[in-house]
Every structure is written in structure tokens, then in C-alpha cells.
Amino acid sequence: MQELMPQPQQLSPLVWRLRAPNPGPMTLTGTNSYIVGQGQAYLVIDPGPDIESHVQALAAAVNGLGGRVKLILVTHGHPDHYPGALSLGRLVDAPVAAYAGATFPHTVDLVDGQEVTAGGVSLTAIYTPGHAADHLCFFLAGENALFTGDNILGVGTTVVAPPKGDMADYLASLRLLEAGWSHAGTIYGGHGPEIKDPAAKIKEYLAHRQARQQQLMAALAAGESTIAQLVERIYQDVGRHLWPAAARQVLAYLLMLEREGRVRVQEISPSEADLAGQALINPSSALDPVAAAELGISSQTGPQPEKLKRYSLVPE
Ligand SMILES: [Zn+2]
């Protein structure tokens, strides 16, 4: 008896979405895998985690369209976007393309501005570090559509967590998308539904970051000095289960402000209250790999614990 394969949802003449069965706090309803193309030639963007049923469903979907997968594109190397690319590549005998500086295995190097084509469809790679150092977005000129990976999501905001995430890079990437690509008519994000007003969404993302940064500066000015104190003050509107993520965000802002010479940092010997706070910035290794990658605390060499520090504003 044949198992029922999940069917892709057609979103436009050239774009289909098949959501991976990996819902979670970091992945929302699951990772969006996209099939892009026409006729006999297709690209797959972000095959997602290495879930056999999903990889097979992607291959079957392209089969069902009467075509072949010519190339697999990866927006970034996080475990909810990339590992399925290798299995799909083997299954359909297609190369895997990713940012040239990406450290995960791939067969085609892409750089900023590079065009990739399959059949009659052409996409432009846009280097957009910040959420991850190896992050690419892709622009589909034929439909004036932007694939944003985890830089811009269909719902909520993305996590920018050091050491691999970098807030200054992320803000620069958002500004780059605003300056160069806000004429797009649709954004297809790595999670959540498609976005029909890209210009407004990019503005909203920038405004959100600006507001958080201002809240952080105000909290520092009010004398809060550890990351735990800052999170408690700034993220009152956010569920406590998200505070470890919030703590990594605050760290990302602080690192940026420190580099800009606007914040001063001091290592401290921790009090007991501080130690409780430290658990927030160094959550236990019991985190699942997707959450750990999003929070920037998984690496080949194991987690690098953040030292406890006090932060203060440098007087203007
Ligand atoms: Zn993701």
C-alpha cells in the first residue's frame, strides 16, 4: 500500500511550498522548503532537516510536476534548513549550492550577486549575514519575489545570537534588503506564511530592532547591568520560556554597542543572584540542536560559556 505523500502547496506560477514536519518554538509550524521552476527544471530552496519522509516528499513533488531537481539551494547552515539538502542531493543526483564561506559540506559556492538558473528560471543570491554568518537570500526576478530564509520570517522576529549571529551584520543586511530589494512583491520566509508587503515588513523589522535597542539603552541608563537584569526589564512582554533566546539577543546588542564604544564591559565575580542569571545566558546543554543553533550555543567544539559581566553606558 502506498503511503500518502504530503503535497506541495502552489503559491504562484513558479513557486511551491512544502513544509517540513518539524514544528517547534524556533521553527514555528516547521521549516518552509520551496520548489521553484517550471516545465522540466526545478530548484529546491532549503530542504530542511534530514527527515526521510520530507526529503522523499520533495523529490516526489518535483516528479509530480513532471520535472527534475537541477539544483538545491541552502539559505544557511542551521539544522532546520540544511541537512536535508545532502540527502535530497543524493536521492535526485543534484548539486547543493550555498554561500562560498559556509563551512558545511556543499558542492557549489555562491557569492553575493551571483545568478543561478534552472530551466527558464533565474535567482540572484544576496549575501545577508547576521542571523547566521553564512546566510543568503534569493531574489526571483521572474516573479519579483524574495526568499529570505531566517532573515525575515512570516511570523514574529528572528533570533540573532552570538557568536555566529551578529547584530551589526543583521541590521546591515536588513538595510541592504530595504535599499535594494523592497520593490519585491512577495517575501517567502524560512518559516511562517508568505508576506505580501515586503517593504512594510522590512521597515517593521528595522523599527522593532531600533525599539529594542532603545529599550536596552534606557535599561542600562536606569542602572540595570547584567544580562539577566536587562532581559527581565526589557522582555516583560515575552513568555519566560523565550528568555534564554532574549538573553542571547541582548548579548548580541551589547557586543555591537561595545564595539561601537557606546557600552563599557566589566567582568565580575558573581553573586548568587547573578549565578541564577547566568543560567539564562548559558542555558543547559539539554536544549535540542535546533534551539541550540538558533541561540548560537552549539558548535563542533561544544558550547562556549559566556562569562558573567556587568555592562554600563559610556557617557556621551
Ligand atoms: Zn530556521
Cα separation values, 214 from 9, 73, 211, 219, 221, Å: 40, 36, 5, 9, 10
CA of 290 to the centre of ligand 1 (A): 8
Note whether 33 and 44 are within 8 A (CB).
yes
Determine the Cα–Cα distance for residues 127 and 254; give it in Å rounded to an integer. 24
pLDDT for the residue numbered 302:
44
CA dihedral (58, 64, 70, 76) in degrees, to 10, reads -20
CATH superfamily of this structure's domain 9-207: Ribonuclease Z/Hydroxyacylglutathione hydrolase-like (3.60.15.10)
CA of 4 to the centre of ligand 1 (A): 26
Q: Domains of the chain: which residue ranges?
A: 9-207, 216-313
- Nearest 5°: the CA angle 99, 101, 103 is 100
Determine the Cα–Cα distance for residues 312 and 265; give it in Å rounded to an integer. 7
Read off the C-alpha cell for 117: 538558473
Sign of the four-CA dihedral 287, 288, 293, 295: negative
CA of 128 to the centre of ligand 1 (A): 14
CA of 111 to the centre of ligand 1 (A): 21
pLDDT for the residue numbered 290:
74
Determine the Cα–Cα distance for residues 238 and 246; give it in Å rounded to an integer. 9
Rg (CA), the chain: 20
Provide the pairing of β-strand 186-189 with 145-149: parallel
Sign of the four-CA dihedral 261, 267, 272, 278: positive
- pLDDT per residue, tens digit, the chain (316 aa), is 455 788 999 999 999 999 999 998 778 899 999 999 999 999 999 999 999 999 999 999 999 999 999 999 999 999 999 999 999 999 999 999 999 999 999 999 999 999 999 878 999 999 999 999 999 999 999 999 999 999 999 988 888 988 889 999 999 999 999 999 999 999 999 999 999 999 999 999 999 999 999 999 999 999 999 999 999 999 988 888 888 888 989 999 999 999 999 999 988 777 766 776 767 777 665 567 777 777 766 544 444 567 788 999 998 7
Q: What is the pLDDT of residues 175-203, one digit of tens each?
A: 999 999 999 999 999 999 999 999 999 99
CA of 82 to the centre of ligand 1 (A): 9
CA of 60 to the centre of ligand 1 (A): 23
pLDDT for the residue numbered 301:
40
Determine the Cα–Cα distance for residues 135 and 152; give it in Å rounded to an integer. 12
Closest listed residue to residue 130, CA positions, set 164, 80, 82: 164
pTM, rounded to two decimals:
0.90
CA of 46 to the centre of ligand 1 (A): 9
Provide the pairing of β-strand 96-99 with 68-73: parallel
pLDDT for the residue numbered 238:
83
pLDDT for the residue numbered 198:
97
Determine the Cα–Cα distance for residues 73 and 116; give it in Å rounded to an integer. 9
Read off the C-alpha cell for 7: 503535497
Determine the Cα–Cα distance for residues 230 and 220; give it in Å rounded to an integer. 7
Read off the C-alpha cell for 102: 559556509
145 three-state secondary structure: strand
CA of 284 to the centre of ligand 1 (A): 21
CA of 315 to the centre of ligand 1 (A): 38
100 three-state secondary structure: coil
Note whether 137 and 75 are within 8 A (CB).
yes
Determine the Cα–Cα distance for residues 33 and 52; give it in Å rounded to an integer. 14
Which residues, in sequence order, are bridge partners of residue 33? 18
CA of 1 to the centre of ligand 1 (A): 34
DSSP 182: T
Cβ-Cβ contacts under 8 Å for 2 (sequence gap 6 or more)? none
Note whether 289 and 79 are within 8 A (CB).
yes
CA of 182 to the centre of ligand 1 (A): 22
